């Protein structure tokens, strides 16, 4: 199997016999494998263990998890679904898409008058959420593209240099990605670009996933240690930063992969535009002050102690630390809105402020 | 062999028969091995390949390299030494100690009226440079200790939390270290401390060397991905940052391991004191505007593409990137003086300004 044509299916698709397929992101870029979600437990496992990751894809996976749970047609289907939602919600704490998706699926089920129709209704609703994420990402690309075009007009024939952190590509959504959507569209339009890919320790989503995606698409890129971005910006080697978001508050504070805040500080210090690309499904309209309120997942120190890679024969794990040293592993940080140049959403670009966000998403305001 | 008692010898020592021994830092913490410098070529190799690293230790190693070169008693010993200095100077570009040490050794040789005495004189001079670095580090510790004591007085019984980047410990000097010298003295005085150790990609000097040192000394520490420091500072989990320096300009700009600048930005943004500990041998009194003038080494991308660690049987390298992705590997960055709270030197603490530095080092001003 090869994922060369994976943009046809994206990172999650419904296969033959209605089975839910995802790409197993734990083994990329070394092996290209699928993982099939047969049960609610499979969906929870795939989110918790990061078979799938990225806020939008977590939301879509959770939606299909709710559909899978509805297959257990117990006497009290709503109780079963409430439990399924709680189980899914406990799988990871930071991405708001997870909670939004499970709530929406519960509401859809509650509006379904015929219990026999719930399973089918939930399948359709999950498929709709998947489709909406694809359309959102495509629109994010269309809205972000002019930013790249403007830089290209200014500096051609030098390529536009864009820095990104972690993976906010199609692997983290379904298709196109968020931060990568404008990048893919710029590349399709023939604008010369070069992407600085933060390797994104400890799980190396940049080195493993973003580099894999860009390689498939034939987009020039260089993987750099997470330490490097500031130096590059000091020397004029970054024209634009675009990252994704796991949760953005109504006032524009951005939770994203740990280390994003450090890059935002460097961008601010060097007057490099720093944009966050996100679908509105990643906006938490009920929350402000992200630094205080967004829960930041602390994951197993093992992800820091050991690094995983290809040893020539297979995927292997090596220990980098001394045997008795401890490690800590915070998954995300929060970039204060004051450091964000703008949010690239499916409805357009807005300032990272309450006014900016509510201007675009009038209907979603609480 | 165990380096448990290595603070007796430090990271470079003169062994039996006058042989120059160093600890092979390429294999720590997994194996404890010595490397013997028999020739000038050995000294160059050990600097270039990072058998030894850290600005002060590079300087001491280069000094002994000059001594080893003088053993080749050619007709024109000064010409031989000039060539040796040029060869050593080409081994790594950023640490100013390297150039200071070779120049000093050349001057010492030039003042030696009896060519037959040059080899012995250079041995004594190199030993003196080694001894001076040890005394400097000890004094850095004494001057830095009150910073930690003051925090302890304010927050006891909670331990003082200190973040450091890369390895500026005794492995990078000869004994005590620079950034670690106040830490070791505080620990000896019984002040409860906890050290956040940046793993320091791509070569993991924090995870491998600083964690090893702190483990030997029994000092509580946690290794963290380089992405983490900003998040910790935002949440009040860092009381003080202390890092070393490979070269500091006369106006206080600090070249240090890549990523230092990002931590300095985060410290500034969160009002966490950010100190740089360095002997005056790391100050380049002839240079200002470090961002423009300090040469930053670009090393092999292989150090990013592959990660080295322990696979249970031996030291092994694994590839983290997709097979066809490229990488870039800048060794250092420059932290502008405006972000540095102060310099901890062997003569005391001063502001990172031309006035502050020249106030302490009147005699070394150009």
Q: Best interface-test mutation with B: which of A228, A290, A319 has the largest number of B CBs within 10 A?
A: A228
pLDDT in tens, B36-90: 999 999 999 999 999 999 999 999 999 999 999 998 666 789 999 999 999 999 9
Residues on chain A touching B199 (C-beta within 8 angstroms): 201, 304, 320
Catalytic residue of the set A24, A246, A253, A333: A246
pLDDT at B7: 56
- Whether A231 sits inside 8 A of B199 (CB atoms) is no
- Whether B228 sits inside 8 A of A330 (CB atoms) is yes
Question: pTM value?
Answer: 0.95
By the 8 A CB rule, do A339 and A267 touch?
yes
Q: Which of A222, A262, A328 faces B230 most closely, judged by CB atoms?
A: A262
Nearest residue to A29 via CA among A283, A206, A268: A206
| Nearest chain B residue (CA) to A306 | B309
Which residue has 């906006």 as its token pair? A283
On the question of pLDDT at B1 being above 50, the answer is no
* Inter-chain Cβ pairs, chain A and chain B, closer than 8 A: 215
On the question of pLDDT at A9 being above 90, the answer is no
3-state SS, residue B284: strand
Q: Which two tokens stand for residue B145?
A: 């200790």
Q: What percent of chain A has pLDDT over 70?
A: 96
pLDDT in tens, B116-134: 899 999 999 999 999 999 9
| Nearest chain A residue (CA) to B298 | A228
Q: What is the third-level CATH fold of A6-132?
A: 1.20.120
- Whether B266 sits inside 8 A of A269 (CB atoms) is no
Residues on chain A touching B227 (C-beta within 8 angstroms): 200-201, 226, 257-259, 262, 333
Catalytic residue of the set B24, B198, B226, B246: B246
Q: Which two tokens stand for residue B155?
A: 């927050």
User: Residue B160 forms beta bridges with which residues?
Assistant: B193
According to CATH, where is 3.40.50.10470 located in chain B?
141-360
pLDDT band at A109 (very low <50, low <70, confident <90, very high): very high
Residues on chain B touching A308 (C-beta within 8 angstroms): 318, 320
Q: Best interface-test mutation with A: which of B223, B266, B271, B291 has the largest number of A CBs within 10 A?
A: B223
By the 8 A CB rule, do B129 and B12 touch?
no
Q: What percent of chain B has pLDDT over 70?
A: 96
On the question of pLDDT at B28 being above 80, the answer is yes
Angle (deg, nearest 10), helices B77-89 and B40-48: 10
On the question of pLDDT at A195 being above 60, the answer is yes
Q: Which two tokens stand for residue B266?
A: 């985060």
H helices present in A33-189, as ranges: 40-48, 55-70, 77-89, 96-110, 118-155, 180-188
pLDDT at A113: 84
Give the span between the Cα atoms of B22 and B53, in whole angstroms.
Answer: 11
| Nearest chain B residue (CA) to A316 | B318
pLDDT at A5: 45
Domain B141-360 is classified in which CATH homologous superfamily?
Translation initiation factor eif-2b; domain 2 (3.40.50.10470)
CA distance A123 to chain B (A): 35
Which residue has 């460097």 as its token pair? A266
According to CATH, where is 1.20.120.420 located in chain B?
6-132
Give the span between the Cα atoms of A181 and A190, in whole angstroms.
Answer: 14
Residues on chain A touching B330 (C-beta within 8 angstroms): 224, 228, 231-232
């Amino acid at each position: 199997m090869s994922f060369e044509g994976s943009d046809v299916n994206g990172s999650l698709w419904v296969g033959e016999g209605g089975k839910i397929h995802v790409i197993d992101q734990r083994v990329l870029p070394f092996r290209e494998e699928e993982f099939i979600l047969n049960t609610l437990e499979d969906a929870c496992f795939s989110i918790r263990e990061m078979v799938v990751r990225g806020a939008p894809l977590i939301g879509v996976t959770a939606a299909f998890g709710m559909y899978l749970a509805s297959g257990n047609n117990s006497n009290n289907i709503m109780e079963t679904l409430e439990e399924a939602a709680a189980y899914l919600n406990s799988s990871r704490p930071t991405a708001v898409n997870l909670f939004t998706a499970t709530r929406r699926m519960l509401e859809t089920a509650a509006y379904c008058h015929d219990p026999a129709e719930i399973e089918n209704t939930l399948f359709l609703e999950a498929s709709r959420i998947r489709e909406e994420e694809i359309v959102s990402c495509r629109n994010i690309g269309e809205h972000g593209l002019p930013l790249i075009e403007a830089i290209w007009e200014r500096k051609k024939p030098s390529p536009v240099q864009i820095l990104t952190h972690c993976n906010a590509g199609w692997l983290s959504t379904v298709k196109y990605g968020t931060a990568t959507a404008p990048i893919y569209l710029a590349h399709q339009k023939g604008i010369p670009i070069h992407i600085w890919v933060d390797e994104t320790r400890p799980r190396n989503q940049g080195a493993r996933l973003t580099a894999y995606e860009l390689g498939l698409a034939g987009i020039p890129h260089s993987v750099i240690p997470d330490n490097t971005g500031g130096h590059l910006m000091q020397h004029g080697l970054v024209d634009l930063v675009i990252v994704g978001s796991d949760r953005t508050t109504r006032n524009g504070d951005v939770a994203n992969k740990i280390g994003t805040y450090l890059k935002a500080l460097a961008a601010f210090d060097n007057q490099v535009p720093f944009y966050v690309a996100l679908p509105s499904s990643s906006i938490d309209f009920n929350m402000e002050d992200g630094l205080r309120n967004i829960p930041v997942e602390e994951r197993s120190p093992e992800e820091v102690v050991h690094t995983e890679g290809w040893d020539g024969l297979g995927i292997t794990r090596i220990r980098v630390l001394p045997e008795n040293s401890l490690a800590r592993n915070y998954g995300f940080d929060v970039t204060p809105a004051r450091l964000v140049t703008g949010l690239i959403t499916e409805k357009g670009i807005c300032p990272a402020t309450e006014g900016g966000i509510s201007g675009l998403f009038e209907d979603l305001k609480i």
